[in-house]
Structure 1
Amino acid sequence: MLLHSHDDFTTLREIIVGSAENYLSHDRDVTFELFHHDNLAGFRSDWAYPRLVAADGDRAARSWNIKRRYTEELHADVEDLAATLAALGITVHRPLALPPDAAPIAGLGWQAAPTPALNIRDNTLVLGDEIIETPPAIRSRYLETRLLAPIFQRYYEAGARWTTMPRPLLTDLSFDLSYARDEATTLGGPTEPIADPQPSPYDVGFEMMLDGAQVLRLGRDLVVNIAHDNHRLAVDWLERHLGERYRIHRVHRMADNHIDSMLLALRPGVFLARHDGIRDMLPKALQSWKFIVAPEPDPGAFPAYDESEDLVLTSPYIDLNVLSVSPDTVLVNQDCTGLLKTLDAEGFTTVPVRHRHRRLFGGGFHCFTLDTRRDGACEDYLS
């Protein structure tokens, strides 16, 4: 188990595939609402932003139950993804499953129901031979990487470096709300106007928050999406930590957080992009790369959900979240026929894989996985 991963496109040898076991509900609190606010405009309610200490003393988040059929079908699709990768000759590692009766987790002034380690790209960044656990922005995901700890431990024992970025306290005043309040960048912001975040004895001001899925890895170069000061603080730390080993290129508000449903590198010189305008947001050296623009999503490719009962967390562009297993081969959602045809026409070998409820669980194949060994070195693709 030699940790060695510098990009998202060279030949894949080892990977972790997340677990969907016992993903039964969403813990809806301020952190969940802020993270997903771009896609929650239709779910406004008076409890979407509970304070650390509410007026009635109730600090509990509200649980949004997910229909059992959806959770069972998600689990089946994730297991099929793991089996597909194994059939391609890739070594697949799996996290610990979240127990069905998992106890709540807690911080200083909050409590949350834990989330399974499904979207494992988010809370970990692998750079070469280093595992970096990133600072989470959602309380229910605060201890998610502990479900990956046995795998990380084995890589560490084999020589990998293992780092944890500073952990945020996640109080009301931890969050830079400028993105959520900016009408030019959001569909309306959080479901309750946030004019008076409540103080806490644990406040330290804005805190570092960053997901690994905000980072596009291109050998020596890292393109990082920054939407607000929480992200900026984390990237400042990352720059100091990495020193001269990597070059960090900051892009601003390409998305609210994750970059991997906006832009993915399929091979050196080729991007898969949501739209061609992304080119102008990138460093000049990357603007000359070929941009394969994904076709508009077909509404018929998604299951029909009940708007009053089913919480949709991602945009229809989630199927752009593909997984490359080599510079020529890409795993694509089998229901996204337009993207399959587009990539086939561009000379890629596509592997169709089923993923039905991607809009309910906030991720695609790139989100659900964390590649730990690829053939590529720490190349300079920009010079």
Structure 2
Amino acid sequence: MRLNSYDGWSPLREVILGTAENYSCHERELSFDLFFHPEMPHDQMYYPRHLPPDRAAAKSPIKRRYIDELNEDVEQMAEILASLSITVHRPARLDPGTHEVRTPAFSAGVIPALNVRDNCIVLGDEIIETAPQVRARYFETQFLKPVFADYFRRGARWSVMPRPLMTDASFDISRITADSPPGELLEPIADPRPSPYDVGLEMMIDGAQCLRLGLDVFINVSTANHALGYDWLERHLAGRLRVHRLDALATDHIDSTVLALRPGLLLVRSPQIAERLPKRLQSWDMIFPPEPRDNQFPVYEDDDLVLTSRYIDLNVLSVSPDTVLVNSACPELMRTLERHRLTVVPVRHRHRRLFGGGLHCFTLDTVREGSAPEDYLGG
């Protein structure tokens, strides 16, 4: 089928599902710490930045049993999607011998294409590879090239945002400064290293910062890097879609903060978040989920690096306007959605806090029903 996806709820026909094969560790370096620090829950371990200069010492290994269980959960999700008559595409495999990527400006570890929602966005008949924010993920969309190339052959448009050089000077570190208030989980970053490739702040933005509502696309902007990415997307989409800026609704991604389940219905983290939504979205009905409970999450050891807040399970996937995939560890959330006449399909996902993504993050919808973007907001 031809590429076609303008929103997050129309009946899903084709999807890319990420893979965790050959995941082994997280690499602690500037871009990783900047990205994950704001999501660190305040009931978790201290998250220091000061590390030994040896790069190997900066790697945070992931225990084999967690990776094995994650692979089990992802493959089970593939089976569930297929049982719903959805065609499932998979990324190319990360070769276990590939340990590092290098550019003129940096070197970094490499991870498989698991959270495929992040580094690209599908808008109608166009694939846009976005400008990455984490060095280890710089070439991640290469694993999606076989799928993208097939859609291109069938008529899809395919664009790539300018790739950032990603020197230390490229990153907006203003939200983590020496003036950070006491109690911040990340030590101040006051030692960016100069590089001959410095060009100043660069555009960096993820697809998971976008809320697609037919003709309207809302984009979360909370750093100067995001603002540059927003400007590029606004100019690129001019005349085709209406682009709107959300000012710091979340630190980066918004799909554990607000999701559209169908026209006129939002899943919103809290009433406080709802008050910050644009007026036109505040008129929609809203579901406020129950607070996460401790027993919904595995208990980890002190050396396990927890990356996401406890709200990660709001990261659900709609496969139609009345059917939604939800983490089976969240019975209260499932009952809440069912009370709003939604059919819930439970999906096991145990270690979402260790791998930085939920069910929505793991998927990139490429074909949904519908032939043109609908105007859900009335101009």
Normalising by the residue count of structure 2, what TM-score does the alignment of the two structures yield? 0.95
Corresponding residue number in structure 2 for 1:7: 7
- Matched residue type, 1:265: A
| Match of residue 291, structure 1, among 286, 289, 292 | 286
* Aligned residues between the structures: 373
Shift of residue 65 of structure 1? 0.4
Q: For 1:154 and 1:246, how far apart are their aligned partners in 2?
A: 25
What is the percent sequence identity of the aligned residues? 57
1:219–1:378 CA contact under 8 A, matched in 2? yes
- Matched residue type, 2:286: F
Q: For 1:46 and 1:241, how far apart are their aligned partners in 2?
A: 37
Shift of residue 189 of structure 1? 5.9
| Match of residue 215, structure 1, among 210, 213, 220 | 210
Shift of residue 281 of structure 1? 2.0
Aligned pairs for 1:5-44 (under 5 A) are: 5-40=5-40, 42-44=45-47
| Match of residue 149, structure 1, among 142, 145, 168 | 145
2:243 matches 1:248: yes
2:133–2:205 CA contact under 8 A, matched in 1? yes
Aligned pairs for 1:296-335 (under 5 A) are: 296-306=291-301, 308-335=302-329
Corresponding residue SS for 1:179:
coil
Going from structure 1 to structure 2, the CA distance change for 1:166 and 1:76 (only over 3 Å counts) comes to same
Corresponding residue SS for 1:281:
coil
2:237 matches 1:237: no
Going from structure 1 to structure 2, the CA distance change for 1:46 and 1:210 (only over 3 Å counts) comes to closer
Going from structure 1 to structure 2, the CA distance change for 1:355 and 1:248 (only over 3 Å counts) comes to same
Shift of residue 45 of structure 1? 3.8
Going from structure 1 to structure 2, the CA distance change for 1:93 and 1:46 (only over 3 Å counts) comes to closer
Corresponding residue number in structure 1 for 2:277: 282
Corresponding residue SS for 1:309:
coil
2:342 matches 1:354: no
Aligned pairs for 1:55-94 (under 5 A) are: 62-94=58-90
- Matched residue type, 1:213: A
Corresponding residue SS for 1:178:
coil
Q: For 2:304 and 2:168, how far apart are their aligned partners in 1?
A: 27
1:5–1:129 CA contact under 8 A, matched in 2? yes
2:367 matches 1:373: yes
- Matched residue type, 1:339: L
Q: For 1:312 and 1:342, how far apart are their aligned partners in 2?
A: 27
- Matched residue type, 2:22: N
2:122 matches 1:126: yes
- Matched residue type, 1:220: L
**CA RMSD, aligned part only?**
1.7
- Matched residue type, 1:300: N
2:136 matches 1:140: yes
Corresponding residue SS for 1:244:
coil
Note the alpha carbon deviations across 1:123-153, whole angstroms, 9 max, x for none.
0010000000000011100000000000000
2:33–2:49 CA contact under 8 A, matched in 1? no
Q: For 1:103 and 1:341, how far apart are their aligned partners in 2?
A: 43
Corresponding residue SS for 2:280:
helix
Q: For 1:153 and 1:126, how far apart are their aligned partners in 2?
A: 14
1:59–1:110 CA contact under 8 A, matched in 2? no
Which sections of structure 1, spanning at least 5 residues, go unmatched? none
2:9–2:321 CA contact under 8 A, matched in 1? yes
2:48–2:185 CA contact under 8 A, matched in 1? no
Shift of residue 198 of structure 1? 2.2
Note the alpha carbon deviations across 1:241-275, whole angstroms, 9 max, x for none.
11121111111111110000000000000000100
Q: For 1:342 and 1:241, how far apart are their aligned partners in 2?
A: 39
Note the alpha carbon deviations across 1:96-143, whole angstroms, 9 max, x for none.
111222141012232111110000000001000000000001110000
2:91 matches 1:105: no
Q: For 1:187 and 1:260, how far apart are their aligned partners in 2?
A: 26
Q: For 1:46 and 1:211, how far apart are their aligned partners in 2?
A: 23
Shift of residue 179 of structure 1? 2.3
Q: For 1:180 and 1:79, how far apart are their aligned partners in 2?
A: 38
Which sections of structure 2, spanning at least 5 residues, go unmatched? none
